[in-house]
Amino acid sequence: MSAQTEMELARKREIDRERGDRHLTGAALDAEIRRLELALIDREERFLGQAQALGRRVHAAIPSTFGGGAVAGLGLLSWLFKPSARAHAPAGGAAPVASGWARWFTMLWPLMPAGLKARVDPKLLGMFTAFGLPLLERALQHRRNAPRTEPYVDLHRYAGRWFEIARLPESHEKMCAADVTATYRPLDRDRIEVVNRCLRHDGQPESAVGVAEVARNGHGAKLRVNFAPAWLRWLGLAWADYWILRVDRDYDTALVGTPDRKHLWVLSRTPDMAGEDYRRLLDYARIEGYDVDKVRVTEQHLGPEDERRAKRRERERERDRARHAAHA
C-alpha cells in the first residue's frame, strides 16, 4: 500500500471520528434540553399545587361570618363615602349610583334568616355586592326612559365657575346653607377637576375636590363624577352620574340632572338668573319628568366683586349678541 493511500485512509478515519463526535454532541444537547424542559414543567406543577393549597388554607381560615360582616361593612361604606356626602352635591356633583339596591341589601343581609344565608357563599356575596349590584343598577337605569341631554357640550367652554341657583333638596345637602358653587378645570381630554364650595349654617366655608370623566358616547354631556378619596375611586359605588340636560348658546345658564330624575340643579355663571331663563329651564325639566314642584332656590349672597363680574359678563354677552347679529 502506497504512502498516499495510507494518508487517504487516515484522513477518512479522522473525518468519520469527527462526525461521530458531532453526532454524540448533538444527542447530548437534545437530552439536556429535554431534561431542562421536564424540570420547568415539574416546577410549574409544584408551584400551582402550592398556590391551590394556600388558597384552600385561606378559605378555611376565614370564618363563615366574615362574609356577612364584609357585606354589612360595604353597606356602611356606601353610606359613609357616598360621593355627595363629602361634596354636599353642589352643582350636581354627586348623586349616588347604587342608591337603592346596594345600600339596602347590604344593610339588611345580616338580618336575613340563617337558613337562607347558609345557602349562599358570603364571600362571593360580598364581591357581588361591591361590584355586581352597582353595575346591574347602572345597566337597568340606562335602559329606562332616560332624560334627554344636550347632543354635545364643549367642556372647555363649560369650564369655570357656576353658581347653584336652585336644586331638588336632598338630605345629604342640608349642611350647605348658601353660596353653593362648582368650579370645573380641564385636566386632559376626558377628565376635569371639580371643586365644590358652599357656606354652612354656622357660617363656615366647606369645600370638596373631585374628578369627572366623560361617559362613553356621552359627547361631553354625560359625565361621571367622583368625590370619594382617591383610594376608593375604583369602587362602583363611588361614581355618580352628571348629565348636562341643557346649556345655552353662550354657556351662561345650565340645567344638570341625573338619569334617575332624583337630582336636579339649575346653574348660572352669575349669582342670580333672569326669571325668564329660570322658568324656561324648569319647564324643560318638567317635560323630562323631574318633580320641579319640589325645587328650592339656593341663597346666594351677591358681593361687590361678584356684582362687578356679573355686569362685566353681561356687557360681554351684549357685545357677542351684537357681533352675531352683524354677521347674520
Confidence of residue 161 (pLDDT cuts 50, 70, 90): very high
pLDDT exceeds cutoff 60 at 119: yes
Residues in CB range of 205: below 8 A, 6 or more apart? 197, 198, 199
Q: pLDDT, tens digit, for every residue of 315-327?
A: 676 777 777 767 7
Q: pLDDT, tens digit, for every residue of 176-196?
A: 889 999 999 999 888 899 999
Grid cell of 69 as nine digits: 360582616
Pairwise CA distance, residues 137 & 150, whole Å: 24
In sequence order, the β-bridge partners of residue 206 are: 198
Per the model's pLDDT, the better-predicted residue between 104 and 37 turns out to be 37
Percent of the chain with pLDDT strictly greater than 90? 33
Residues in CB range of 158: below 8 A, 6 or more apart? 184, 220, 244, 247, 251, 254
Q: What is the mean pLDDT of residues 123-150?
A: 68
pLDDT exceeds cutoff 90 at 297: yes
CA-CA-CA-CA torsion for 57, 61, 63, 66, nearest 10 degrees? -90
Q: What is the mean pLDDT of residues 91-101?
A: 46
> For the ranges 21-25, 121-125, 198-202, which has the lowest average pLDDT?
21-25
pTM for this one?
0.55
Q: pLDDT, tens digit, for every residue of 209-242?
A: 999 999 888 889 999 998 877 767 666 667 889 9
pLDDT exceeds cutoff 70 at 29: no
Confidence of residue 175 (pLDDT cuts 50, 70, 90): confident
Confidence of residue 48 (pLDDT cuts 50, 70, 90): confident
pLDDT for position 111: 65
Residues in CB range of 102: below 8 A, 6 or more apart? 74, 75, 78, 129, 133, 134, 137, 237
Pairwise CA distance, residues 261 & 289, whole Å: 7
Pairwise CA distance, residues 210 & 253, whole Å: 22
DSSP 299: B
Mean pLDDT comparison of 111-120, 131-140, 269-278, highest-scoring range: 269-278
